[in-house]
A and B are shown apart, each in its own frame.
Chain A
Amino acid sequence: MAIRILVVDDHPVVRQGLKTLLEGRDGWEVIGEASDGAEALEKAKYLNPDVMVLDVTMPKMNGLEACRLLRKETPQLEILFVTQHDSPQMMREALDAGARGYVVKSNAARDLLAAVEAVSQHRIFTALNGRDAAGSNTNSGVHL
């Protein structure tokens, strides 16, 4: 299945790593990159991606703020967080902000492809380092 992806992270090297991984999958295309939340909002409007891979901690506008705004402006877009924060609280906040998926950066090479596939099909995917999300009905590493 073809999936058009926008990658958002303030570190170009991380964007390159994510891009290399994502484009290894047949039919998946990274159609754009952004380095902060504000640029992500702008690019989401005119590139119209299927999935946005979004970092939490970024300058200008962090990923959570961007996610809340994107939910209102581009409701068809599915958002997957890829972040350093291996925290159930942060994951809960990301899902509350309207994200469909949450993956920890240190496990991205393992979880990212399955996560993008799940969220592109409008399923939830969350994966912390071996813990369940607090107060969530999702399980670690499980897509529902």
Chain B
Amino acid sequence: MKLRILLADDHEIVRRGLRALLERHEGWEVCGEASDGREAFEKALELKPDVVIVDIGMPNLNGLDTTRQLLQHDPHFKVIVLTITDSDQVIREALDAGARGFVLKSDAARDLVSAVEALQNKRMFFTPRVNDLVLAGFLEKGHSISRNEAPKLPTLTAREREITQLLAEGNSSKEVASLLNLSTKTVETHRSNIMRKLSFHSIRDLVVYAIKNNLIQIEIPPPPKTPTGPTAA
């Protein structure tokens, strides 16, 4: 029987690349694709894949919250997180969310097949940096990962995190309500609770929080061209 894989990334071109990479492996098939976390969640429930591969930086629902929601719904889901960064914070969040694999996008061509093989054999797959961090935490903090640098902020519920991401992506309360099948009033109540919990006063604060906590990701453009010749006075 074939190993069935669900792929979730907001870039179709990346999904094509990943599909080509995975389907070269005999006995594996990509049974479905999703372009955001919400679609990934729905398709995972519908298709019941053996492995779910989620990009962290997806719109509507990011990959970490997708992982949390999937495992909350059914702890048997096996999730590999794809990420552009292996910062300590992202690693911690991926482990906390319950991911069994952690692969850097830049290394996916090399590591993703190994990661899926590991999960197929009921093992986990992490990059060397994750292993180092886990080991360091184990040695230094008595069997747990160090959280010294983690910001001490009030915990948001899963629903509040979802709404925070959607608001930070520029959606109005009405649009969030429509996306989540909630009433605008309910979203406004969640929004007030989020702002109160985090002591925020503006949507700008919320956007900064969403970026710092990897709910959304931004692309930094290269610096503009610097003039090479002499400039007129």
Contacts and interface: CB of A to CB of B under 8 A. Distances in A.
B16 A21 contact: yes
A106 interface: yes
B47 interface: no
Given A10-B106, A11-B106, A106-B11, A16 B225 contact: no
Given A13-B105, A13-B109, A105-B13, A56 B222 contact: yes
A57 B221 contact: yes
Which of B14, B19, B21, B110 has most A Cβ within 10 Å?
B14
Contact of A109 (B16, B109, B219): B16
Given A12-B109, A16-B21, A21 B13 contact: yes
B222 A62 contact: yes
A16 B222 contact: no
Interface in B1-38: 10-21
A106 B10 contact: yes
B224 interface: yes
A14 interface: yes
Interface in B90-130: 105-106, 108-110, 112
B219 A20 contact: no
A57 B220 CA distance: 9
Interface stretch (A71-79, A82-90, A116-124, A132-140): A82-90
Contacts of A16: 16-17, 20-21, 109
Contacts of B12: 17, 106, 108-110
Interface string A11-28: 111111110110000000
A12 B21 CA distance: 10
A42 interface: no
A110 B112 CA distance: 26
A13 B17 contact: yes
A56 B69 CA distance: 35
Contacts of A105: 11, 13
Contacts of A64: 222, 225
Nearest to B110: A12
A39 interface: no
Interface string B143-178: 000000000000000000000000000000000000
B13 A109 contact: yes
Given A17-B13, A85-B219, A93 B224 contact: yes
A10 B225 CA distance: 21
Contacts of B112: 13
A57 B222 contact: yes
A93 B225 contact: yes
B16 A20 contact: yes
14 contacts: A10-B106, A11-B105, A11-B106, A11-B108, A13-B18, A13-B21, A17-B11, A18-B13, A18-B17, A20-B17, A57-B221, A93-B225, A106-B11, A108-B11
Interface of B: 10-21, 105-106, 108-110, 112, 219-222, 224-225
- Which 3 A-B pairs give the minimum distances between C-beta atoms? A17-B17, A12-B109, A16-B17
Interface of A: 10-18, 20-21, 56-57, 62, 64, 68, 82, 84-85, 87, 90, 93, 97, 105-106, 108-110, 112
Given A11-B14, A12-B17, A17-B16, 13 more contacts: A10-B106, A11-B105, A13-B14, A13-B17, A14-B17, A17-B18, A20-B19, A57-B220, A64-B225, A85-B219, A93-B224, A105-B13, A109-B13
